[in-house]
Amino acid sequence: MRKLLILFGLLFTFALSQAQQLGIIASQDIAAAGYCAEYQAVYDLLDAKPEADTAAAQNDLVEAGIAHGWWAKGDLIYVTAQRTQAGALLNWPNPSGDDNITNTTDCAFTKYQGFTGASVTSEYMVANWNPSSESVNFTLNEATISAYTRIDINAAEVILGCFSTNYITLIPRNAGSLQGRLNDLGTIDKATANSLGLSTVVRINSTTLRAFKNGTPFLDVTVNSTAIPNTGLNILKSQTGSFSNNQVSFIYIGGLLSNTEVSDMNTDVETYLDFVGAGVE
């Protein structure tokens, strides 16, 4: 009996191996059974599945975001450092929704790094999301914008841009400073050594903006909120036509994040990007 069971086991292992080689069963799909529901929803829609260890790292990113509180507050979470361009367009909190990215002018995509804009050829993307009418967590007086960039650029090149009487703007470094606008007409402006890593601006109330570089808060500025822009969000372009040459690997738009949540998000994102070889912090 024992020999018979061993024989059946060997036959099953051989059949499974052959099925995988023929593409009938992907090894990644076998591993998917252990993913959290939030990442499983993303994984199911990826046109080409990440390698098993990379998929596990992506699942770890989501689980860390849930544990640390920033995931639940996100309206848009784009992990553009993905295996394929199609996979990089998904909005992870709602991958089957209509607020995935559209690569409007065919920005260059690099596997497990993200999208790169080009000011010379006016290349940019759109988020298919109107913050005034489609936000859930993002509000007039409590909001967060954040992006991870991989190229050190010191110029007025907008990573996130939206304008309709009022602004949403994120520039990792211009004239030596991180700059941002968030539901207002003013600007937060703080000196920073480079544009590498995670740049974040948080509106903590109706009068105050807070800037973060790689998870560390380094400036509060009094800038009164006025209104949420009633127009779509551009990526690697401002609403008024300023294009970026930077490469973006991660984007977050959501509600008010605490200092701890921004710090944790930076750590969680950096851990994943380091794993796939895209980290620059």
In 33-72, which positions are buried (b, 16+ CB within 10 angstroms) versus exposed (e)? eebeebbebbbeebeebbeeebbbbbbbbbbbbeebebbe
Per-residue pLDDT, 33:
53
The partner residues of 234 in beta bridges, in order of sequence, read 126, 161
Rounded (to 5) percent helix, strand, coil in the chain: 30, 30, 45
Please state the pTM of the whole predicted model: 0.89
Q: What averages of pLDDT result for each successive group of 10 residues across the chain (281 residues)?
A: 42 43 42 83 97 98 98 98 98 96 95 95 94 97 98 97 93 97 95 98 98 97 97 91 94 98 98 98 86
* CB within 8 Å of 55: residues ≥ 6 apart: 28, 31, 32, 35, 43, 49
- Residue 258 buriedness (CB in 10 A; 0-12 / 13-18 / 19+): middle
Q: How far, in Å, CA of 258 to CA of 251, rounded?
A: 17
SS3 (DSSP) at 40: helix
